[in-house]
Amino acid sequence: MFSSHGAMWWSPNGTFLAYAEFNDTQVQNIEFSWYGTGQYPETVVIPYPKAGATNPKVKLFVVSSANMSRVAEIVVPSSIGTSDHYLSSVTWITDNRVAVQWLMRIQNHVILQIYHFDGSNWNPSQQYAEKSETGWVGQFSPLPPFFVEDSNNFYQVMSDKNKYKHIHYVTIEGANPITTGTWEVIYITKLTKDAIYFVSNEHGLKAGQRNLYKVALPASVQSPRQCLTCDLNVDRCQYNSGYFSLNASYYRWDCYGPGLPLFTLRDNRGPGSEIHVLEDNKVLEEMLRDKNLPTTKRDKIKVGEFDLWYQMILPPGFDKSKKYRLLIDVYAGPCSQKVDYRFRLNWATYLASAENIIVASIDGRGSGYQGDKLMHSIYKRLGTYEVEDQIETTRKFIDMGFIDKEKIAIWGWSYGGYVTSMVLGAGSGVFKCGMAVAPNSTVTSRAKNFKSVKYLLVHGTADDNVHFQQAAEISEALVEEQVDFEAMWYTDKDHGLDGAAHRHVYTHLSHFLLNCFENSSP
């Protein structure tokens, strides 16, 4: 839940330490072999709750740093504690008040409960709830609250009445938005007595851009927003964030693209002047000076009722009168985003510049940062609309006139590998081949449709995220249908395929892709 190895939270002055306890006793195990270098392999056993299976039981405790024997449990609210739930976040307000977010397992209902220390126990006081009738609360999970100093009032990003994520000021009377529009606040970066700072994609209404904003307090939806980064090095910097000093007098401006990343220290007490350049990537700029790099096209395309963002990594010297091979690079998980303005040097860069292949990505239904209607389209419907949108948008790419319709492939990793497999299994006839790295196995029902495509299945045998069991089940289903496919296993490698395997897998993917295109009918 925390996307980290930490489940401990110190109070502001270090008086108390909150910590989570997870009981895996009733959780079923996943087991896999670790081959190592010995004569016999070892068996790795990990408690792993799968969909619909028993979850760990979580409890939250607080211990006094002055007396380690004084341990008190923070009890989950009864309205949520009787059902499967998660501990979502822990936020200290003061040394004797703490806010905890408890999330229902189906992730459409969260309770923020404030607890107050009375000298011996942590008693519940104010409680706030957020529910969604259409899907996940927050951005796949609730975002953290930012509390007003010495108060139970707080600011939090949540869905507004128009179902876009915006900052709300939450009091016992209710939640009042202080931002609004058909764009989204991505996260709050800093709260002071006088202002709140946040990152959004408001500027230009481009979902994949990020800029840093400031709103003076007290605020309402009519309050003016000051963009701190919209006019800074515009061609180079359209994906920005900021990290502030304790009182927000200074901040580190982080520019991640589309040009070379740039990091500077800035003065926030006046016009925001630059104090020092921390990293300007001049060395990398010089290294790339004589390189023939691809260009990136970003735009929207109409698919059904939605205008979907897409991007194309175009070969150097792109000529729309010619025909190009196309690779769709997909992830498509809930609240994901592939189309953004970050700088990257990756496999797509190589394919476009060295192999003259267009690499495209599509943010279809289920994608984030464009309102709940788009994101919640796949709530409890995974493997449906996000798969359809990859196919339909690719058809529209063909209609643009510069795509060789006989040489189109798709690839993805993890959830992207799953979507890749579902797309190929749909039997659309659009794709000639695909490569799936660490996919899950719910695609097995479509195995017979793989006879008309070339398929590469890749997995690490020690994957503790998407288990090797998934690839084994896909392989078995394809064999049962007499499908000719290729597979590559990486011994004792986990989900990321690190070390030598990382370079090897991209070399192998490249060989498979080029061979597919070479043997496709003209």
Helix %, strand %, coil % of the chain (to 5):
20, 40, 45
Q: Which of 116, 495, 504, 508 is catalytic?
A: 495
Q: Which of 11, 241, 367, 414 is catalytic?
A: 414
The CA distance from 218 to 306, in Å, is: 36
Tokens at 339, concatenated: 């189309």
CA–centroid distance for 352 within its chain:
25
Q: DSSP assignment of 461-507, as one string?
A: TT-SSS-HHHHHHHHHHHHHTT---EEEEETT--TT--THHHHHHHH
Contacts 24+ apart (CB under 8 A), 495-500: 495/414, 495/438, 495/460, 495/463, 495/464, 495/465, 495/466, 497/437, 497/458, 497/460
Tokens at 123, concatenated: 């008693």
Residue from 7, 9, 1 nearest 20 by CA: 7
The CA distance from 105 to 459, in Å, is: 28
DSSP state of 229: S
Q: Which of 389, 463, 467, 475 is catalytic?
A: 463
Q: DSSP assignment of 120-174, as one string?
A: S-EEEEEEEEEE-SSS-SSSSSPPPPEEPTTSS-EEEEEE-TTS-EEEEEEETTE
Residue from 325, 361, 345 nearest 514 by CA: 325
Residue from 220, 221, 216, 166 nearest 193 by CA: 216
Does 463 qualify as catalytic in the annotation?
yes
The CA distance from 53 to 102, in Å, is: 19
Q: Which residues are catalytic?
A: 414, 463, 495
